[in-house]
């Protein structure tokens, strides 16, 4: 009897410990998820009522909405421009930094990592200045490529690659850090043994570093993939979807439909599609982590 009473007491105490988090979780996460699913089947406006049930109409409309297809294509293009380049750049930087003496390493790492902890609007303002059509310090470099200065955020060909470059500059430090952690986890004696056998730098990289680093590389790739699918802030601040919708992305569509056109139901349908896409890739990433036994 005492055991049962103890169990019950323990459960009560445990419940009081989890209650604050569970309350917030239900209020601002679980309930909004449920509501998102519900609204995506209605024609609700943003504020003022739940609208009427319209079944699958929103989804049918989405699939034939040219703006949606443009956004989807641009999201894909952005992922292509960021994910693999940032992974390669981060790996190269990590390989360079990890060779340095400890004290120097911290300093140089700070140079590469610092942009990552800046607010996005700070990043976009700095780059707007660097790339200013008239006075930007990078315009001479752009003139070399294009033959003349380019207003990059108002040019349909330049806008996405430039936003992608800014994003890589901003977030790359995170990936560098993961690669450095991965590199430090490779036992030193592997290299020493191979070094005695007279292996070259490239052989060491190909035979030891790359295979042992592959799990971290896979992690970086999937994390980046998920993160870059959620692109909104930089686009909104740098080009606002333009010119001619050439940088229009899914989250921008959700924002415009909901907050500017007051179409809560339709925006929810788009958001739900994005939600499902990201959740699917997150599950993949989770499986990758689990496969590594963590």
Partner 1 sequence: MGRHIKKIENAILTLITFISATIWIFPLYWAFITSIRSEERVVSSDAGLWPDEFNFAAYTHVFYNTKIIIWYINSIGTALIITFLVIVTGMMCAYAISQMRFPARRLLYGVILGCFMVPSQALIVTQFILMSDMGLVNSWAGIILPQLVVPVVIIVYKQFFDAVPKEMREAVVLDSGGDYTLLFKIYLPLNWGITAALAIITFISAWNQFFWPFLIATTEDKMTIPVGITQVKDVFGIAYARVMASALLAAMPVAVAYLIFQRKVTQAVMISSGIKG
User: Rule CB under 8 A: which of 1-30 touch partner 1?
Assistant: 7, 10-11, 13-15, 17-18, 20-22, 24-25, 27-30
Residue listed under structure tokens 């070259």: 200
Site for partner 1 in 76-105 (CB under 8 A): 93, 96-97, 99-100
Instruction: Among 67, 120, 194, 218, indicate the residue that binds partner 1 (CB under 8 A).
Output: 120
Q: Do residues 238 and 124 touch, judged by C-beta distance below 8 A?
A: yes
Q: Which residues pair with 280 in a beta bridge?
A: none
Cβ neighbours around 172 below 10 Å, total: 22
Site string for partner 1, 185-224 (x = CB under 8 A): x---------------x--------------x--x---x-
Residue (of 78, 117, 36) closest to 248 by Cα position? 78
**Helix spans in 197-263 (H):** 201-204, 210-229, 233-238, 250-255
Straight-line distance from the first to the last Cα atom of the chain, in angstroms, rounded to the nearest whole number: 39
Q: Does 237 bind partner 1 (CB under 8 A)?
A: yes
Cβ neighbours around 224 below 10 Å, total: 24
Q: Does 272 bind partner 1 (CB under 8 A)?
A: yes
Pick 19 or 84: Cβ nearer partner 1: 19
Pick 159 or 252: Cβ nearer partner 1: 252
Cis peptide before 243 (omega within 30 of 0): yes
Segment near partner 1 (CB under 8 A); pick from 53-61, 144-152, 186-194, 254-262: 254-262
Instruction: Among 63, 69, 88, 114, indicate the residue that binds partner 1 (CB under 8 A).
Output: 114
* Closest separation in Å from C-beta 256 to partner 1: 12
């Amino acid at each position: 009897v005492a055991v049962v009473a103890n169990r019950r007491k323990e459960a009560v105490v445990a419940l009081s410990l989890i209650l604050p988090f569970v309350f917030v979780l239900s209020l601002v996460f679980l309930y909004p998820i449920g509501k998102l699913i519900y609204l995506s089947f209605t024609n609700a406006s943003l504020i003022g009522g739940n609208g009427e049930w319209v079944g699958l109409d929103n989804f049918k409309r989405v699939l034939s909405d040219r703006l949606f297809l443009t956004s989807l294509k641009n999201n894909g293009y952005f992922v292509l421009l960021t994910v693999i380049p940032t992974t390669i750049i981060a790996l190269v930087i990590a390989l360079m930094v990890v060779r340095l003496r400890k004290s120097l390493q911290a300093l140089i790492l700070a140079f590469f990592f610092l942009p990552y902890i800046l607010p996005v609007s700070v990043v976009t303002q700095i780059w707007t200045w660097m790339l200013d059509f008239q006075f930007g310090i990078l315009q001479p470099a752009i003139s070399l490529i294009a033959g003349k200065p380019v207003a990059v955020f108002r040019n349909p060909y330049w806008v996405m690659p430039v936003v992608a470059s800014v994003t890589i500059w901003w977030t790359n430090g995170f990936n560098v850090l993961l690669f450095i952690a991965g590199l430090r986890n490779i036992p030193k004696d592997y290299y020493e043994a191979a070094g005695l056998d007279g292996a070259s730098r490239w052989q060491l990289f190909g035979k030891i570093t790359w295979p042992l680093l592959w799990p971290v590389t896979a992690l970086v790739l999937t994390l980046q993939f998920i993160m870059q699918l959620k692109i909104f802030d930089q686009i909104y601040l740098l080009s606002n979807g333009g010119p001619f919708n050439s940088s229009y992305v899914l989250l921008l569509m959700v924002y415009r439909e909901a907050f500017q056109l007051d179409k809560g139901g339709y925006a929810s349908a788009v958001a739900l599609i994005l939600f499902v896409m990201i959740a699917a890739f997150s599950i993949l990433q989770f499986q990758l982590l689990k496969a590594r036994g963590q």
